[in-house]
Structure formats: structure tokens, C-alpha cells
């Protein structure tokens, strides 16, 4: 737990934070021009983050009993380094709380998580049109991996690919 300069508290998410986390996820989807894409629920977040075998984790910034910002992440593994890393799935700060250092504090907490656990990497993606985020990440020392492109299989293509193994 860390108190930030404006009195916000950066801490690990805990049970009871799910609705505030989900509100941040939805706000991020709205910002990324995908307002109908969120299928997540409070129940799914409870299971994922706080169930008996959590596979994802979150840090939050809280103030006045509301979640103001989130960082949701999970572990990766590099065969090249032989070590785990962190994949930042979502970083979001509600608009009224931007420019208070919350994003940098959340990324710093993730970097610290890497160092404390011997993880080799902290990675994430950013939409190519999101210039404010790209500039922010660049200022923190994050390098673009221009030679890599992300691939995704979902929906019918996922079903068809799985059928090939049957």
C-alpha cells in the first residue's frame, strides 16, 4: 500500500473492488471505441482475481472510497530468458484523476513486482492511434516493439482451429 501525493491509495485489489474495477474496464472500452465489447461481470472478476487459483491480478488507486485507476495483469513466460514476466492487460485512470501520477505509480508498482519476483519483463500493447498514451509510455522509457505484431484467434475461428485437433 502506498499513499500518493493527492491522498489516493495505491494497493493490491481486494474482494469488494470488483464493481469499481469493472467500471474502469468499461470506461477503457468506451475510450477505445469498443463500448459493447465488455462481457466481463462482477462475478467473473471475483473468480478471476480472488478465486482459489487466481490467474490475473490487479492494483488499484482508491480515493474517497472509489476506484480511480486500475492496472490488471497476469504472468507470462519467456523461453529465451527462462523467467516469468508481467503482461499488463489494462491500465486505466478515470479522466478526472489524470495527470496526478496514478498511471506512472501503477506502472512503477508493476516494475517493482517484476524486480521483487525476478521477472524479466513488463510488457503491454497500446493502440496505434492513442498518442497521449504512447507519449506517456515513451517518457517512462518503454520501447516500441515495431517488428512484432499481435495475432488473435477468437469466435468462429477459435472453434474451427480447435476442431482441427479432434
pLDDT value of position 166? 85
127: three-class secondary structure by DSSP? coil
Q: What is the pLDDT of residues 9-20, one digit of tens each?
A: 999 999 999 999
Q: Where are the domains of the chain?
A: 2-163
CA distances from 77 to 102, 107, 123, 161 (A): 27, 19, 11, 23
Answering whether pTM is above 0.75, one says yes
Q: How many CB atoms lie within 10 A of CB 4?
A: 17
Low-confidence ranges of the chain (pLDDT < 50): none
Task: Choose among 82, 33, 90: nearest CA to 59.
Answer: 90
Task: Choose among 125, 109, 127, 128: nearest CA to 117.
Answer: 109
pLDDT value of position 16? 97
pLDDT value of position 82? 97
Per DSSP (E only), the strands in 64-154 are 66-78, 83-93, 122-123
pLDDT value of position 56? 98
pLDDT value of position 1? 87
Determine whether 77 is an active site residue: no
Q: What is the pLDDT of residues 29-46, one digit of tens each?
A: 999 999 999 999 999 999
Q: Which of 92, 102, 119, 137 is flagged as catalytic? A: 137
Q: Class for domain 2-163, per CATH?
A: alpha beta
Q: Name the pairing type of β-strands 122-123 and 83-93.
A: parallel
Amino acid at each position: 500500500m502506498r499513499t500518493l501525493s493527492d491522498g489516493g491509495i495505491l494497493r493490491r485489489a481486494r474482494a469488494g473492488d470488483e464493481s469499481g474495477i469493472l467500471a474502469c474496464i468499461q470506461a477503457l472500452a468506451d475510450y477505445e471505441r469498443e463500448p459493447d465489447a465488455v462481457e466481463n461481470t462482477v462475478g467473473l472478476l471475483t473468480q478471476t482475481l480472488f478465486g482459489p487459483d487466481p490467474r490475473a491480478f490487479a492494483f488499484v488507486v482508491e480515493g474517497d472510497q472509489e476506484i480511480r485507476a486500475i492496472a490488471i495483469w497476469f504472468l507470462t513466460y519467456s523461453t529465451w530468458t527462462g523467467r516469468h514476466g508481467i503482461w499488463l492487460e489494462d491500465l486505466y485512470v478515470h479522466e478526472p484523476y489524470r495527470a496526478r501520477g496514478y498511471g506512472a505509480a501503477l506502472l512503477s508498482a508493476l516494475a517493482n513486482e517484476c524486480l521483487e519476483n525476478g521477472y524479466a519483463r513488463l510488457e503491454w500493447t497500446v493502440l496505434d492511434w492513442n498518442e497521449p498514451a504512447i507519449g506517456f509510455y515513451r517518457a517512462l522509457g518503454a520501447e516500441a516493439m515495431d517488428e512484432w505484431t499481435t495475432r488473435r484467434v477468437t469466435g468462429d475461428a477459435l472453434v474451427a482451429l480447435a476442431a482441427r485437433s479432434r
